[in-house]
């Protein structure tokens, strides 16, 4: 699977989350929103009918192509979401995306964390 990465940056209130919500709604495959900050009270309803899941088992069992994965452990969920995305792609051939809004909260800000799955997805993941 080829991996492509997009980083959306900008000022507060500049529309980054709105753009990501539109990307979630319009994506032609599986789109997983890792919801670890509950920014603005994001719910499945705010994410255009995304199914809310809270575990890898629920994500795998869901037949929805829009997932709102609610978690208190974003780094562990990143590993799991990546696995689910790969499984979905291998089973269907359709593209997948994993969205981290407010990703600066889980990315290293200086010292490199070699086991950070979000960093890996953005910088090193090429499989």
pLDDT digits (tens, 9 = 90+) for 48-95: 789 999 999 999 999 999 999 999 998 899 999 999 999 999 999 999
Please tell me whether the overall predicted TM-score, pTM, comes out greater than 0.85 for this model.
no
Helices (H), the chain: 16-26, 56-61, 74-92, 117-119
> What is the layout of strands, in order, in the sheet containing 30-35?
51-53, 66-70, 30-35, 96-99
């Amino acid at each position: 699977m080829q991996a492509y990465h997009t980083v959306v940056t900008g000022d507060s209130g500049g529309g980054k989350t709105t753009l990501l919500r539109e990307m979630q709604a319009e994506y032609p495959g599986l789109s997983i929103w890792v919801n670890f900050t509950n920014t603005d009270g994001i719910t499945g309803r705010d994410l255009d009918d995304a199914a809310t899941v809270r575990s890898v088992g629920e994500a795998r069992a869901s037949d929805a192509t829009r997932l709102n994965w609610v978690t208190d452990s974003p780094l562990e969920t990143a590993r799991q979401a990546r696995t689910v995305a790969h499984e979905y792609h291998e089973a269907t051939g359709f593209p997948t995306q994993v969205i981290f809004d407010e990703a600066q909260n889980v990315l290293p800000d200086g010292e490199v964390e070699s086991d950070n799955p979000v960093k890996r997805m953005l910088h090193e993941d090429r499989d």
